[in-house]
Amino acid sequence: MSRSDRLVPILLAIAGAMFAAAPFVIDTAPDESTMGLVQRIFYFHFPSAMSMLISALICGVASAMFLFRRDPRADRVAVSAAELTVVFGIMTLVTGPLWGRKAWGVYWAWDARITSTFVMWMVFNAYLLLRRFGGAGSEVLAAAVGLFGMVLVPFIRWSVDLWRTLHPSTSVLPNLPVSMGIPLYFCWAAFTVLLVALLLIRMRLERQRAWLDDAYLSVED
Amino acid sequence: MSAAASDSPSDFSRVRLQGISRHYGRRRALANVTLDCAAGVVTGLFGPNGAGKSTLLGVLSTFVRPSSGAISYGDRTAEQWGDALRSRIGVLGHDLFLYGDLTAFENLLFFARLYGLPNPGEVVARALDKARLTDRAHDRVGAFSRGLRQRLALERALIHSPQLVLLDEPFTGLDDASAALLIERLRQLATSGAIVVMATHDFDLADGVVDEAVCLSSGRLVPMPGAGPLRQRYRDALSRERA
Amino acid sequence: MGVLRAAWLIARKDFRIEVRSRELIYTAIFFAVACLLIFAFAFVYNGRAIDHAAAGIVWVSIVFAGTLALGRTFERERQGDTLRALLLSPVERPAIYLGKLMAMLVFLTGIVVVILPLSALLFDAPIFRTPGLLAAILATGILGFAAVGTLFSAMLVRASSRDVLLPIVLYPLTLPALIGGMQGTVALFSTEPDLALAQNWLAMLIFFDVVFVILALWTFAPAMRE
């Protein structure tokens, strides 16, 4: 058992405690003037979007490393991160429209940011589909998708922004009153801890699969 | 790259595989294969279907990256050679590496140019002559029979006079006369100092040309010592392996 | 041999095969026209195409037919395993990518040359109002699509179920180029053309092309190793 594996239960415990406390922390924030109670979705929506972005970034960097160096460890990081990108993406894509319904009156307003999230989510779904159905050697192909997907992020943002913009602008964050800032950063921290814990667990699974493959091979020898 | 290809041939006198393994997931295609192929020698590669013959040829052709182990071409590794190494290797694959929509002449001309050969037109004319396809030079390859395509594919593989010749089932589809010519051709290649590695199932034809024989059994290399007919040596080797 | 010369050899070989069979250009153009026809039933009301429909119809037809063409050109390299023969030749690997990309661009241009006048005829698209800018948007959009498409089609040659996987990978990854092409064309086709907006899109497309052609050239060799 490696050092990172020993970290997992601790991280999970921290994340569990933080998520248990999250409703109470969020409760301390005041109701937002126009959105009311629904605004509180934001405390989960924003951190899950950030977690998705971080996972995508990890997947992209690990994919590039696997593509050029063919280190199987990099591939294990990439596939774990890709799955988390999709999972956090689902969370973002579910909470986004709930917010949108109240803010703009429709669930899906083709707002720039949620649209680019959707596109990115599709890219990393393509990554997973390739690995699932591409047959032998598909991990190399998937690595190219991961790398291209990461490089694509700014272009998706650029093109979708040029196409449509409705979303609360990025400057919202620093201007946030402290009473709303504390719960937001608290939830963001909780999501990040969860992200790291899940990533480590998923990587351990991949590592054990690789170990099992090696064991099979050495039994044959 | 042509400068590297015109180096003295002496630095390409043998190809050495050391402890080569290649696995696809849990399937072991090659297990710890060590093999030494020398210039002037035709090495025969035998073994049942799926034993790893094609993978071994793929590793030798630099196309398949081994999971572990080292290969040296002459005194250098593939990385040290770079792109120039590929101009010294000729491969006759199981799929024939020919474009069905192009004529025999166009196929050879395309590859002659891709290998950067001087006077590609002449080289192609000579190659067509060796394949005895001069009169069908301007027919589409897609309309050829398997045997004719096989003959053309051999000349395509040899068009740049490679020093390492890798052949996967070269006798497929050949009639007796063509097979005899192929054997003659392989003998010439070996005498001229090429390293020839050939995977085949045809023991009777291989008997006339193979200098050294090895067989693969589920990815492991088994020597086939002795001087008798290959079929017998193959049976002995496999039964020893199973015992 | 230089990279460009090797690329040209490979592209010219593709042209020769295509000139001989004409399979790709006939089928892809027929397919593109069929797309135009189908979209007519979705977007034409009372004999007129609804606002902004023409640009979208043109682009979706090009992209669908282009996907078909990508699949076919690499299917030709799969029969006889000739892609491996190219990889085993001493040419530098990026030259192979470049050659296939050049051939692909010519095929796509052929499709555009048919689709564009038809869209003018059928949907009243004003293709001669800003010909220079329209040509630039089409060229850069197609290059972006082909740059990513060529790399992934080449990689998919080895994969099982490649026919399904190509569009699955291709559409999300080329989306910015498609959005740019479509919206740039929308800006040019609308009743009051917005040239500034079209130029904005063009800038994005050029940037996209530069980044992804370089990225593809850089990844092609490591990506093609087994």
pLDDT tens digits along C178-196: 999 999 999 999 888 889 8
Q: Please count the residue pairs, one from chain A and one from chain B, whose beta carbons lie less than 8 angstroms apart.
A: 16
Q: Which two tokens stand for residue A123?
A: 């890219």
C173:A135 CB<8 A: no
Task: Indicate if the pLDDT at residue B231 is higher than 70.
Answer: yes
Collect all residues with Cβ–Cβ distance below 8 Å to B221 and sequence separation of at least 6: B33, B34, B35, B214, B215
d(CA B34, CA B16): 8
Mutate to test the interface with B, among A217, A219, A221 (most CBs of B within 10 A): A217
C204:A158 CB<8 A: yes
> Residue B114 is which amino acid?
L
Question: The sheet that has B27-38: what strands, in order across it?
Answer: B27-38, B14-24, B68-73
Q: B47 φ, ψ to 5°?
A: 140, 155
Query: What pLDDT score does A105 carry?
Result: 84
Q: How many C-beta atoms surround the C-beta of residue A44 within 10 A? A: 23
In C, which residues are within 8 Å of A68 by CB distance?
A: 222
* Residue of B24, B31, B65 lying closest to A221 (CB–CB): B31
Confidence at A168, pLDDT banded by 50, 70, 90: low
Residues C26-60: tens digit of each pLDDT: 999 999 999 999 998 999 888 888 888 999 999 99
Confidence at B4, pLDDT banded by 50, 70, 90: very low
**Nearest chain C residue to B5, by CA:** C90
* Residue of B2, B106, B114 lying closest to C89 (CB–CB): B114
d(CA A139, CA C222): 13
Query: What pLDDT score does C171 carry?
Result: 95
d(CA A1, CA A9): 13
Query: What pLDDT score does A31 carry?
Result: 76
B25:A70 CB<8 A: no
What whole-number percentage of chain C has pLDDT above 70? 100
Q: Is-contact B110 C12, C-beta < 8 A?
A: no
Name the residue with higher pLDDT: B1 or B169. Answer: B169
C161:A133 CB<8 A: yes
In B, which residues are within 8 Å of C84 by CB distance?
A: 63, 93, 95, 97
Task: Indicate if the pLDDT at residue C220 is higher than 90.
Answer: yes
Report in angstroms the alpha-carbon separations of B124 from A15, B119, C82: 70, 9, 18
**Crossing angle of the two packed helices C53-78 and C131-156, in degrees rounded to 10:** 30
- Residue window 179-198, chain C: list those with CB within 8 Å of chain A: 179-180, 183
Asked if C74 reaches chain A (Cβ–Cβ under 8 Å), the answer is no
Q: What are the respective helix, strand and coil percentages of chain C, to the nearest 5?
A: 85, 0, 15
d(CA B49, CA B38): 26
User: How large is the average pLDDT for residues B95-115?
Assistant: 95
Confidence at B119, pLDDT banded by 50, 70, 90: very high
Task: Indicate if the pLDDT at residue A179 is higher than 80.
Answer: no
Asked if A109 reaches chain C (Cβ–Cβ under 8 Å), the answer is no
C160:A145 CB<8 A: no
Strand partners, A36: A32
C155:A129 CB<8 A: no
Strand partners, B167: B92, B198
Query: What pLDDT score does A166 carry?
Result: 47
In B, which residues are within 8 Å of A66 by CB distance?
A: none
Tell me which DSSP letter residue B82 carries. Answer: G
* Residue of C161, C204, C211 lying closest to A159 (CB–CB): C204
Query: Residue holding tokens 């040019």?
Result: C188
| CA-wise closest residue to B66 among B15, B14, B12, B19 | B19
User: How large is the average pLDDT for residues B109-119?
Assistant: 95
Query: What pLDDT score does C11 carry?
Result: 96
Task: Indicate if the pLDDT at residue B234 is higher than 80.
Answer: yes
d(CA A97, CA B206): 71
User: How large is the average pLDDT for residues A43-48?
Assistant: 92
What whole-number percentage of chain A has pLDDT above 90? 52
Asked if C85 reaches chain B (Cβ–Cβ under 8 Å), the answer is yes
Asked if C19 reaches chain B (Cβ–Cβ under 8 Å), the answer is no
d(CA C95, CA C5): 8
Taking the CA atoms of residue B143, residue B144, residue B145 and residue B149 in that order, the dihedral angle to the nearest 10 degrees is: -140
User: How large is the average pLDDT for residues C148-154?
Assistant: 96
Task: Indicate if the pLDDT at residue B7 is higher than 70.
Answer: no
User: How large is the average pLDDT for residues B33-45?
Assistant: 93
- H/E segment holding residue C201: helix C195-224
With vertex at residue C217, the alpha carbon angle to CA B81 and CA C140, rounded to the nearest 5 degrees, is 160
What whole-number percentage of chain B has pLDDT above 90? 63
Query: Residue holding tokens 């003037």?
Result: A33
User: How large is the average pLDDT for residues B235-242?
Assistant: 84
Strand partners, B195: B164
* Residue of B97, B99, B115 lying closest to C17 (CB–CB): B99
**Cα atoms in the Cβ-side hemisphere of radius 13 Å centred on B111:** 34
Query: What pLDDT score does B8 carry?
Result: 47
Task: Indicate if the pLDDT at residue B226 is higher than 50.
Answer: yes
Q: Which two tokens stand for residue C177?
A: 């180029």
d(CA B28, CA B154): 30
Task: Indicate if the pLDDT at residue B160 is higher than 80.
Answer: yes
Stated pTM of the model: 0.92
Asked if B64 reaches chain A (Cβ–Cβ under 8 Å), the answer is no
Tell me, what's the ipTM? 0.92
Q: Please count the residue pairs, one from chain B and one from chain C, whose beta carbons lie less than 8 angstroms apart.
A: 81
* Residue of C79, C88, C93 lying closest to B61 (CB–CB): C88
Residues C90-131: tens digit of each pLDDT: 999 999 999 999 999 999 999 999 999 999 999 989 999 999
**Cα atoms in the Cβ-side hemisphere of radius 13 Å centred on B20:** 28
Collapsed DSSP state (helix, strand, coil) of residue B91: strand
Query: What pLDDT score does A19 carry?
Result: 92
* Residue of B86, B101, B116 lying closest to C17 (CB–CB): B101
**Nearest chain B residue to A71, by CA:** B67
- Average pLDDT for chain C: 93
B25:A136 CB<8 A: yes
**Nearest chain B residue to A212, by CA:** B26
> Residue A189 is which amino acid?
A
